[in-house]
Amino acid sequence: MTGKTPAAVTRRFGIGLAALALVATACTSGEAETQGNSPDADGADAAELVITPEDGAQEVAPNSPVTVTSENGVITDVAVEQVVMNEAAADEGEEDPDLYAMTGTLNEEGTEWVSDWNLRPGSEIVVTATAENDAGETTELVQEFTTLDAVAGQRLELESNFPSSGDTVGVGMPIVINFDLPVTNKAQVENSMEVVSEQEVAGAWNWVNDKTAQFRPEEYWDPYQQVSVDLRLAGVEASEGVYGVRNHRIDFEVGRELIATMHVPDHEMVITVDGEQERVIEVSNGKESRHFDTTSSGTHVLMERYESLTMDSATVGIPADSPGSYKVDVQYAVRTSHSGEFVHEASYNGNIGSANTSNGCTNLRMDDALWFFENTLMGDVLDTTGTDREKEWDNGWGVWQKSWDEWLESSATGEAQITDGSGTPGSVHGEQ
């Protein structure tokens, strides 16, 4: 069976029909019956199955659950096949069918099965269910229906994500999901995105805005492990009439634990790897003549990086020829915020190691900048103290600026997601 047992046991399980002693099987479409639907020789009534949505239903909302119930027997197998009817979607290339494998949750009595995920829009759905009565006699029921297609301009798509599959990241890395359309049904979308890690942790999603969700664990990831993210977006109603159309999977690795720390008045950065000091780098930070020129205090997560970059104040709202404007070419730049903070080479700064004279960035000498560029990963942590400018949680990947209680409270579900593969905290389905 493709499904889940009650949470008190374990949510995912499978029962192969070959392991059952089959006495008799009746296969019907639209209604269940076994050998005339009469009691067998031992007096046991045949199992009776009911599937919803009903057989032959057209344009069913994709976020409707598939429900199978049984009388006079326990459910032994449910299979849900989804065939996309939209030619445009079918022409976009082959997709991994495993991305759309449907699991479900079976109640303790074994008499009700409910699908865990939504259905693909614009698809023909075939549900095959099997139940067994006390005498071991089986009943099979097959029903078909179609789902409503997603309207052009109202199809939720994944615009970008960090990390990407195959990336190796630092222990502070959040999972960042950017959508192309606003999301108002945030709890349903959160529950459609399942994170599984080799080392089980509690984590949760927060929304930077209506298009961007970020997941972080309660504490930094344990190093040296694999993490997977299943984005089961197909069929989720992101907002009224807007449905997700595709599922995605992201597989990445958490590498070694690299933590960089700076107390800004000390003019140095200390690097530790797996708890051992690796390198001490002399730096020059912000001169603090104004808020913008002040290096922010807080937990930064390393973001994108450039071998060479033009640092232009016009890109952060300070036009050329205005007081405090600048435009300079630098090498080995690693971003730590959206507001323009980088760790980068600044050979022109003669105050590295002795005074803070930058425009808010962390200036390094060439050899140290090259080392930092080559030996750090996206998701590594830079913990900064000693200034009166506090890093905002939504300025870049500032997810660690919130306490765990604050982070969990700000999740749309309000509940932690445990990364052990047991599922998400709540339902992905719409109101029924």
Kindly report, residue by residue over 189-241, the tens digit of the pLDDT: 999 999 999 999 999 999 999 999 999 999 999 999 999 999 999 999 999 99
The model's pTM: 0.88
Q: Are residues 284 and 398 in the same domain?
A: yes
> Any catalytic annotation for residue 429?
no
Q: Are residues 348 and 210 in the same domain?
A: no
Q: Are residues 200 and 81 in the same domain?
A: no
Q: Are residues 129 and 51 in the same domain?
A: yes
Across 246-288, the runs of DSSP E, i.e. the strands, are 247-254, 258-263, 268-273, 276-282
Strand order in the sheet with 74-84: 25-29, 138-146, 123-132, 74-84
pLDDT at residue 303, rounded to an integer: 98
pLDDT at residue 173, rounded to an integer: 98
- What the block records as the tokens of 30 is 């639209």
Q: Which of 248, 267, 361, 429 is catalytic?
A: 361
Q: Which of 248, 267, 344, 429 is catalytic?
A: 344
The enclosing domain of 302 has a CATH number of 2.40.440.10
413 inside domain: no
User: How are beta strands 362-364 and 342-345 bridged, if at all?
Assistant: parallel
412 inside domain: no
Q: Are residues 28 and 112 in the same domain?
A: yes
27 inside domain: yes
Cis peptide before 53 (omega within 30 of 0): yes
The residue ranges of the chain whose pLDDT is under 50 are: 2-29, 31-37, 91
Distance CA 140, CA 26 (A): 6
Distance CA 82, CA 85 (A): 9
Tens digits of residue pLDDT in 5-46: 333 333 333 333 322 222 233 334 454 444 334 555 567 899
238 inside domain: yes
Q: Are residues 201 and 305 in the same domain?
A: no
Q: Are residues 124 and 66 in the same domain?
A: yes
Q: Are residues 245 and 277 in the same domain?
A: no
Q: Give burial (CB, 10 Å; 0-12/13-18/19+) of 339.
A: middle
Q: Are residues 292 and 163 in the same domain?
A: no
pLDDT at residue 22, rounded to an integer: 27
Which residues span the domain enclosing 126?
17-146
Q: Which of the listed residues 119, 146, 173 is the one where a domain comes to its end? A: 146
Q: Are residues 250 and 161 in the same domain?
A: yes
Nearest-5° Cα angle at 400, 392 to 247: 100
Asked if residues 28 and 104 have their Cβ atoms less than 8 Å apart, the reply is: no
> Any catalytic annotation for residue 361?
yes
The enclosing domain of 199 has a CATH number of 2.60.40.3710
Q: Are residues 300 and 386 in the same domain?
A: yes
Q: b vs e for 113-132, b when ≥16 Cβ sit within 10 Å of the residue's Cβ?
A: bbbbbbbbbbbebebbbbbb
Q: Are residues 193 and 139 in the same domain?
A: no
- Give the total number of structural domains in the chain: 3
